[in-house]
């Protein structure tokens, strides 16, 4: 990886994921990494955003990290965050679940109550689903929303500011704790177990002129890379500006922590800190300018105005 | 199981599946066994049918039985058959795939070409998807269709005739061959590998007055049981009338063979064999009256007008 930049193709371990993604793109599919993609389709006069988000035990979570209702909430929130990322209004969820038949009834009831709670929290309904036998727990959620005025990744313009909601780094800290055999800090655990799709926040940003938007699912630097590639611009991130969650282990975790489901948006240069204060007062959530958009490509990471390497440890949990 | 009848709750092995399904129903979800359920939703003035169909290696197919493009076609056809079953017109497909990262590029390309071919065959488009790491191959397809005049399971009336498209039993024979370590008969293999969603056939049946419809995914007797339960009627099946595919091992396989994706429809008593001939001429596919609808509940299986036991070996492959 060259100094101070990360390319769009630096997503998957060993490049294998990109190879597979290339295959799907060759077939004309809008396949993307988990959690940051919607298909935008028009049916009759209805403009819809539709997305699917597949979570598999062992890949996306370990048994024992979370309670069943938390696994359900998290899967629901991750899928619904795809809708938030384009400024869509969630309508419904379909849930496909693969599970062992001898698990207790309560497990599946709790799991689906978590999915339902995440849906209801953003005004959506669970429309139905499918249930099959599987050795490992598999949850695939398909979400449908109304997207009359979608905000895409592709609209960022040089001179826009780069803004992020919330504070980052806690999910990364939670996963690290579990992987090291420790129970995470309560605050970090809560951010991992109960991410919140930023649906109304996304509407506010759209109505305030957001030119591009994405949810932070692969990590701030990684998702800024997606946005830069889609918009054919360079995203400059001033690392000292990045809001670090109180439960994060280290400031640089905020740059790489994935599955945050906060929003990364580009807003016109005229969007001010006073505007951000209005957002914070309305939602009780920080909105922080972390950098800006320039001509070029990729992500430029600055510390005290100097380009620096993308921090080691950049990986997606997925 | 009482003589001559199979209840709606006799679907899953050991009743465990029903227990889980009961849990999901308690949560108000329209969860159902794989492959025979659509959610019907109205968005604006658009009436849509939406369904999801999850297939997992080891549960729904074994590695080595099928080529990757056949696995993709089959998963696509199974999902799209859900739309056909309610008389919907397929519009689009979202594909979630879990796969190992070190599989060859061609595997995923072929798999998705199979999904795409099944979609294109019925006028639908692959809108997008998700791709994640998984030890076992996982394919979850969400399908969306237009359903202005859906045909439900619940509309069957005493005196209706019970009709089925095509000829049954071949997929069961194919699975039995593979499970016994033999390569199936070519005709049986083809029916297993390339089921055809009966979309235009379903429109014809709807326009000819079908009162209820379901696709044969759990086996004729099992799906007649679903239809009977939903319509609060009894389905009488005259076993000697059931069309047996030339590649089936034994006539009774046609009663229990699942994943046929043929249509089981109830049509008014006035629907005649001459009407069925018009269907056969138009589609090159048999349409056979296999019984009738009566007051009561469950399925009554007749041989030479005498009630008989539901054949042993009744199971769903899923």
Last residue in a domain, options B118, B146, B174: B146
For residue B45, the chain A residues in CB contact (below 8 A) are: 44-46
- Asked if residue A36 has pLDDT above 70, the reply is no
Interface probe, candidates A23, A111, A123, A150, chain B, greatest B C-beta count within 10 A: A23
Interface probe, candidates A17, A100, A131, chain B, greatest B C-beta count within 10 A: A131
Last residue in a domain, options B88, B111, B146: B146
Residue appearing with tokens 């177990």:
A193
CB pair distance less than 8 Å for A133 and B56: yes
Residue appearing with tokens 């957001």:
A210
CB pair distance less than 8 Å for B23 and A97: no
Residue B239 is encoded by which pair of tokens?
A: 């076993």
Interface probe, candidates A90, A111, A133, A143, chain B, greatest B C-beta count within 10 A: A133
- ipTM of the complex as predicted: 0.84
Judge residue B42's burial from the number of C-beta atoms within 10 Å of its C-beta, 0-12 exposed, 13-18 middle, 19 or more buried.
exposed
For residue A85, the chain B residues in CB contact (below 8 A) are: none
Distance separating alpha carbons of residues B95 and B117, to the nearest angstrom: 13
Question: What's chain B's average pLDDT?
Answer: 86
Query: Which range (A96-105, A147-156, B70-79) has the least confidence?
Result: A96-105
CB pair distance less than 8 Å for B131 and A21: yes
Residues A96 and A158 in one domain: no
- Asked if residue B61 has pLDDT above 90, the reply is no
**In this complex, which of B22, B130, B135 lies closest to A54 when CB atoms are compared?**
B130
pLDDT at A269: 97
Last residue in a domain, options B97, B114, B146: B146
Residues B250 and B210 in one domain: yes
Residue appearing with tokens 């490049």:
A15
Is the CB of A159 inside 8 Å of chain B's CB atoms?
no
Relative to beta strand A125-133, strand B31-32 is: parallel
Q: How many helices and strands (H and E) does chain B possess?
A: 9, 13
Is the CB of B56 inside 8 Å of chain A's CB atoms?
yes
Q: Which residues contact B315 (CB under 8 A, 6 or more apart)?
A: B13, B256
Give A165 to chain B, closest Cα distance, Å. 25
Q: Taking the CB of residue B155, how many other CB atoms lie within 10 A of it? A: 17
pLDDT at A8: 29
Distance separating alpha carbons of residues B274 and B272, to the nearest angstrom: 5
Is the CB of B88 inside 8 Å of chain A's CB atoms?
no
Confidence of residue A218 (pLDDT cuts 50, 70, 90): confident
Distance separating alpha carbons of residues B249 and B311, to the nearest angstrom: 14
Chain B's closest residue to A16, CA to CA, is: B101
Q: Are B173 and B249 in contact (CB under 8 A)?
A: yes
The predicted-structure confidence for A168-186, as pLDDT tens digits, reads as follows 999 999 999 999 999 999 9
If you average pLDDT over each of A285-299, B38-52, B116-130, which comes out highest?
A: A285-299
| Torsion, CA B221, CA B223, CA B228, CA B230, rounded to 10 | 160
Residues B124 and B89 in one domain: yes
Residues B103 and B164 in one domain: no
Q: Are A213 and A82 in contact (CB under 8 A)?
A: no
Chain B's closest residue to A133, CA to CA, is: B59
Residues B60 and B102 in one domain: yes
Q: How far is CA A251 from the centre of its chain?
A: 19
- Asked if residue B12 has pLDDT above 60, the reply is no
pLDDT at A6: 26
Query: Which range (A274-288, B2-16, B277-291) has the least confidence?
Result: B2-16
Residues B112 and B205 in one domain: no
pLDDT at A252: 87
Is the CB of A230 inside 8 Å of chain B's CB atoms?
no
Query: Which range (A208-217, A271-280, A299-308, B94-103) has the least confidence?
Result: B94-103
Q: Are B220 and B228 in contact (CB under 8 A)?
A: no
- Asked if residue B4 has pLDDT above 60, the reply is no
Give B278 to chain A, closest Cα distance, Å. 33
Distance separating alpha carbons of residues B177 and A232, to the nearest angstrom: 55
For residue B135, the chain A residues in CB contact (below 8 A) are: 58, 136
Q: Are B171 and B188 in contact (CB under 8 A)?
A: yes
Is the CB of A26 inside 8 Å of chain B's CB atoms?
yes
Residues B123 and B199 in one domain: no
For residues B286-311, one letter each, b for 16 or more C-beta atoms within 10 angstroms of the residue's C-beta and e for the rest, the string is ebbbbbbbbeebbbbbbeeeeeeebb
Summarize the confidence of residues B123-131 as an average pLDDT: 87
Compute chain B's Rg from CA coordinates.
19
Chain A's closest residue to B92, CA to CA, is: A41
Residues A174 and A285 in one domain: yes
| A131 inside domain | yes
Which bin fits B254, alpha (ψ -120 to 50), beta or left (φ > 0)? alpha
Is the CB of B92 inside 8 Å of chain A's CB atoms?
yes
Residues A178 and A109 in one domain: no
CATH number at residue A72: 3.30.1330.10
| B140 inside domain | yes
Query: Which range (A30-39, A60-69, A80-89, B52-61) has the least confidence?
Result: A30-39
Distance separating alpha carbons of residues A203 and B166, to the nearest angstrom: 51
Which candidate, B256, B182, B248, B272, places its Cα nearest to that of B222? B256
The predicted-structure confidence for B259-286, as pLDDT tens digits, reads as follows 999 999 999 999 999 999 999 999 999 9
pLDDT at B105: 76
Which candidate, A13, A31, A12, A11, places its Cα nearest to that of A21? A31
CATH number at residue A275: 3.90.650.10
Is the CB of A101 inside 8 Å of chain B's CB atoms?
yes
How many structural domains compose chain B?
A: 2
pLDDT at B220: 96
Summarize the confidence of residues A3-25 as an average pLDDT: 45
For residue B93, the chain A residues in CB contact (below 8 A) are: none
Confidence of residue B315 (pLDDT cuts 50, 70, 90): very low
The predicted-structure confidence for B16-60, as pLDDT tens digits, reads as follows 556 666 666 666 554 443 334 688 899 999 999 999 989 888 877
| A66 inside domain | yes
| A108 inside domain | yes
| B123 inside domain | yes
The predicted-structure confidence for B225-255, as pLDDT tens digits, reads as follows 999 999 999 999 999 999 999 999 888 899 9
| B107 inside domain | yes
- Rounded (10°) angle between helices A68-85 and A199-207: 10
CB pair distance less than 8 Å for A112 and B12: no
CB pair distance less than 8 Å for B128 and A99: no
Q: How many helices and strands (H and E) does chain A possess?
A: 9, 13
Distance separating alpha carbons of residues B289 and B238, to the nearest angstrom: 9
pLDDT at B311: 60
| A11 inside domain | no
Give A148 to chain B, closest Cα distance, Å. 12
CA dihedral over A220, A226, A229, A230, signed as positive or negative: negative
Q: How far is CA B28 from CA A301, A306, B38, B47, in A?
A: 48, 56, 15, 21
Q: Within the 118-137 window of chain B, which residues sit less than 8 Å (CB to CB) from chain A?
A: 126-136
Q: Which domain holds residue B284?
A: 153-307
Distance separating alpha carbons of residues B76 and B99, to the nearest angstrom: 17
Is the CB of A39 inside 8 Å of chain B's CB atoms?
yes
More confident residue, A120 or A61: A120
pLDDT at B22: 65
Query: Which range (A257-271, A300-314, B127-141, B201-215) has the least confidence?
Result: A300-314
Q: How far is CA A24 from CA A12, B112, B133, in A?
A: 15, 7, 15
Summarize the confidence of residues A13-31 as an average pLDDT: 56
Residues A183 and A299 in one domain: yes
Chain A's closest residue to B13, CA to CA, is: A101
Distance separating alpha carbons of residues A130 and A310, to the nearest angstrom: 42
Residues in chain B: 318
CB pair distance less than 8 Å for A59 and B132: yes
For residue B131, the chain A residues in CB contact (below 8 A) are: 17, 20-21, 24, 31-34
CB pair distance less than 8 Å for B98 and A56: yes
Q: Which residues contact B255 (CB under 8 A, 6 or more apart)?
A: B168, B219, B220, B221, B237, B239, B242, B301, B310, B311, B314
Chain B's closest residue to A56, CA to CA, is: B134
CB pair distance less than 8 Å for A24 and B52: no
CB pair distance less than 8 Å for B43 and A91: yes
Residues A55 and A142 in one domain: yes
pLDDT at A313: 41
Half-sphere exposure of B178 (CA within 13 A, CB side): 19
Name the percent of chain B lying above pLDDT 90: 68
Interface probe, candidates A15, A16, A20, A103, chain B, greatest B C-beta count within 10 A: A20
Residue appearing with tokens 């001898």:
A102
Confidence of residue B107 (pLDDT cuts 50, 70, 90): confident
| B116 inside domain | yes
Give B109 to chain A, closest Cα distance, Å. 6
**In this complex, which of A39, A59, A101 lies closest to B128 when CB atoms are compared?**
A39
Residues A183 and A222 in one domain: yes
């Amino acid at each position: 990886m060259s100094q101070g930049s990360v390319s769009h193709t630096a997503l998957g371990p060993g490049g294998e994921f990109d190879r597979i993604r290339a295959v799907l793109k060759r077939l004309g599919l809008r396949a993307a990494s988990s959690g940051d993609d919607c298909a935008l389709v028009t049916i009759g006069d209805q403009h819809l955003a539709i997305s699917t988000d597949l979570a598999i035990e062992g890949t996306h979570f370990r048994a024992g990290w979370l309670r069943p209702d938390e696994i359900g909430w998290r899967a629901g929130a991750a899928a619904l965050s795809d809708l938030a990322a384009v400024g869509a209004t969630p309508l419904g969820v379909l849930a496909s679940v693969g599970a062992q038949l001898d698990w207790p009834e309560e497990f599946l009831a709790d799991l689906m109550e978590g999915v339902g709670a995440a849906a209801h929290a953003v005004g959506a309904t669970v429309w139905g689903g499918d249930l099959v036998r599987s050795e490992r727990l598999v949850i695939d959620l398909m979400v449908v929303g109304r997207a009359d005025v979608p905000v895409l990744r592709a609209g960022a313009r040089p001179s826009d500011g780069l803004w992020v909601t919330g504070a980052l780094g806690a999910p990364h800290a939670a996963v690290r704790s579990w992987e090291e055999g420790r129970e995470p800090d309560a605050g970090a655990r809560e951010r991992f177990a109960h991410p919140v799709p930023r649906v109304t926040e996304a509407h506010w940003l759209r109505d305030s002129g957001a030119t591009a938007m994405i949810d932070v699912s692969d990590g701030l630097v990684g998702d800024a890379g997606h946005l830069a590639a889609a918009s054919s611009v360079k995203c400059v991130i001033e690392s000292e500006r990045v809001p670090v969650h109180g439960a994060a282990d280290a400031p640089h975790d905020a740059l790489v922590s994935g599955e945050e489901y906060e929003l990364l948006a580009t807003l016109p240069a005229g969007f001010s800190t006073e505007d951000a204060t209005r957002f914070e007062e309305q939602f009780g959530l920080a909105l922080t300018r972390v950098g800006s958009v320039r001509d070029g490509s990729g992500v430029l990471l600055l510390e005290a105005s100097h380009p620096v390497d993308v921090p080691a440890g950049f990986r997606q949990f997925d």
